[in-house]
Chain A
């Protein structure tokens, strides 16, 4: 009996790690935008939702193969990210930061209800059923493995982009000191726009991966949006490595909590853990105590 139990435990733990990959991807996108522009996109998960609809229409309605549709979706959501910056954030750059955050809250409403009006509230899915990998009596779906691998590749690409290119260096520099970089001859507006598009592209990649695991409906963003915000706060807003670690911590809690009880309790446990951590490490997991 105990042996079977351990197998389940191990399976849940591995699934937690696989879930963590996609969450880390989303956390990276949010952290990037926060670190550079000092804005939190409350509607980030809704961008993912729009991307999932994009995938659905390209694959199911226009009959494109999954791997052809995916780059288009990433471009689409990257464009949306840039548009969001131009239309909503740019006019508010000098306003109090809370106003920017609330404005993206308005965008959340817009995107959700736009999806409701345009696509209806039916649950849809891609109709792609990935095989299940059996390994040592444990079951893992390929969609999760693919998501995990793609998320890691995506994050590595972003890492090299940030380290090796001029724009990447400028982005990192701006996140360290916003005022000085303009004096150093960096066009902040251009960097902001590129960062927004990059954040959107990460959301687009996440939507290509999540579409394999979740049914698509206008409110699907709510099932991973709040948890993403918890992750970036727990990791420390703007702290890339912290967000990465926190994503896996949360994914494990959700996955293991869900093993012992309902999935909702996994979430409740994650929330409770989060509040406890606020007492212990209010500035984030990896923050140095001042």
Chain B
């Protein structure tokens, strides 16, 4: 095993060992949030890297979070069953919207606007069914006493850290799996030129639908995890256009085409938001998004490959020279 091959394993072992050495709750909390959001951002970039820019992922995340919580509160269904149901629900929703888009070659602007409508509809449905979901006031899953495995509720942060770490690692594994599959080449061909790809024998609709469903499943899982960890969800934090844009922003800042890009994006955005919150307190309301927005525009204009993507590019050219 070369140094390069063993690096991920060493880093993984260090991340697993971390909470047993260092248990400061606030820092662990930030780490858990970073891991959960990294996973969500990774799921977005599964599609985004192939030019399928979706602003509907806020909708998938909302479905994941709310279906899990509603099943638990109203029917007493354990999240262990509720989360898969929520994921399937998000996948079905994705298929209903994505199939006509792909079948009728709705791409680019059209696709973005259609998916934008999707996150809008989920937000409106959550707000409209306020008798069940609490509307814009938010929703809390019923608490159990202490940590309960079947209720997926844990009091200690270490357990949550390990869960989030595991899910995040699975996200990266799925990325690698897609990266090595034939589908990657098919999807890259599609993103370059759909008609040419179709002429070369790629089943365009099917390939795009596959990656969309994978992405929706993962995003719903991220939403459900976020809900179980925070024990509070509101339409604005897990669904809607701003959540979708937040995903896009983090991924573009981190780097869209590299596996750890979304993670870097999550680290930067969450540290930025927390830094502003601690530095300025309640005066910071609005400032974090102001900084986000300016950075997003600046990044798209000057550094479209993102921070990690650009660094890796630099390293590659430096090595060649």
Interface residues of A (CB under 8 A from B): 34, 40, 42, 88, 91-92, 95-99, 101-103, 105-114, 116-117, 121, 218, 222, 225-226, 229-230, 232-233, 237, 262, 264-265, 267-268, 271-272, 274-275, 278-279, 282-283
Q: Find out whether the CB atom of B121 lies under 8 angstroms from the CB atom of A271.
A: yes
| Partner among B113, B300, B301 whose Cβ is within 8 Å of the Cβ of A40 | B113
4 smallest beta-carbon distances between A and B, as pairs: A109-B293, A106-B296, A116-B286, A110-B293
Q: Find out whether the CB atom of A113 lies under 8 angstroms from the CB atom of B114.
A: no
| Partner among A225, A233, A274 whose Cβ is within 8 Å of the Cβ of B110 | A233
| Partner among B51, B241, B304 whose Cβ is within 8 Å of the Cβ of A95 | B304
| Partner among B53, B55, B109, B128 whose Cβ is within 8 Å of the Cβ of A268 | B128
- Stretch from B1-9, B166-174, B211-219, B244-252 forming part of the interface with A: B244-252
Q: B112 on the interface (CB 8 Å rule)? A: yes
**Bound-state Cα–Cα, A101 to B304, Å:** 13
**Bound-state Cα–Cα, A233 to B109, Å:** 9
Q: Find out whether the CB atom of B124 lies under 8 angstroms from the CB atom of A268.
A: yes
**Bound-state Cα–Cα, A60 to B159, Å:** 55
**Bound-state Cα–Cα, A218 to B285, Å:** 12
B281-318 near A? 1/0 per residue, CB < 8 Å: 00001111110111111001100100000000000000
Interface residues of B (CB under 8 A from A): 51, 53, 55, 96-97, 100-101, 104-106, 108-110, 112-114, 116-117, 120-121, 124-125, 127-128, 240-242, 245, 248-249, 252, 285-290, 292-297, 300-301, 304
| Across-interface contacts of A222 in B (CB, < 8 A) | 240-241
* Least CB distance, B101 to chain A, in whole angstroms: 7
**Bound-state Cα–Cα, A101 to B108, Å:** 10
Q: Find out whether the CB atom of B293 lies under 8 angstroms from the CB atom of A108.
A: yes
Name 18 extra pairs, CB < 8 A, besides A99-B304, A222-B241, A278-B100.
Answer: A40-B109, A91-B301, A95-B300, A101-B109, A101-B112, A102-B53, A105-B248, A106-B292, A109-B245, A109-B289, A109-B293, A113-B287, A226-B117, A230-B117, A237-B110, A268-B121, A271-B121, A283-B104
**Bound-state Cα–Cα, A99 to B108, Å:** 10
| Across-interface contacts of A218 in B (CB, < 8 A) | 286
**Bound-state Cα–Cα, A161 to B84, Å:** 56
**Contact A268/B289 with A98-B53, A107-B297 known, Cβ cut-off 8 Å:** no
* Least CB distance, A93 to chain B, in whole angstroms: 11
**Bound-state Cα–Cα, A266 to B99, Å:** 25
**Bound-state Cα–Cα, A274 to B124, Å:** 14
| Identity of the chain A residue whose Cβ is nearest the Cβ of B301 in the assembled complex | A91
Q: Find out whether the CB atom of B101 lies under 8 angstroms from the CB atom of A278.
A: yes
Q: Find out whether the CB atom of B290 lies under 8 angstroms from the CB atom of A99.
A: no
Sample 17 A-B pairs with CB under 8 A, ordered by A number.
Answer: A34-B109, A42-B116, A92-B301, A106-B295, A110-B293, A113-B287, A116-B289, A222-B241, A225-B241, A229-B116, A230-B120, A233-B114, A267-B121, A267-B124, A268-B124, A271-B120, A278-B101
| Across-interface contacts of B114 in A (CB, < 8 A) | 233, 278
| Across-interface contacts of A264 in B (CB, < 8 A) | 124-125, 127-128
| Across-interface contacts of B120 in A (CB, < 8 A) | 226, 230, 267, 271
**Contact A106/B116 with A226-B241, A271-B124 known, Cβ cut-off 8 Å:** no
**Bound-state Cα–Cα, A150 to B248, Å:** 37
| Across-interface contacts of B285 in A (CB, < 8 A) | 116-117, 121
| Partner among A40, A109, A267 whose Cβ is within 8 Å of the Cβ of B296 | A109
| Across-interface contacts of B101 in A (CB, < 8 A) | 278, 282
Q: Find out whether the CB atom of A97 lies under 8 angstroms from the CB atom of B109.
A: yes
**Bound-state Cα–Cα, A218 to B242, Å:** 13
| Identity of the chain B residue whose Cβ is nearest the Cβ of A105 in the assembled complex | B245
| Partner among A102, A111, A262, A275 whose Cβ is within 8 Å of the Cβ of B128 | A262
| Identity of the chain B residue whose Cβ is nearest the Cβ of A39 in the assembled complex | B109
| Across-interface contacts of A116 in B (CB, < 8 A) | 285-286, 289
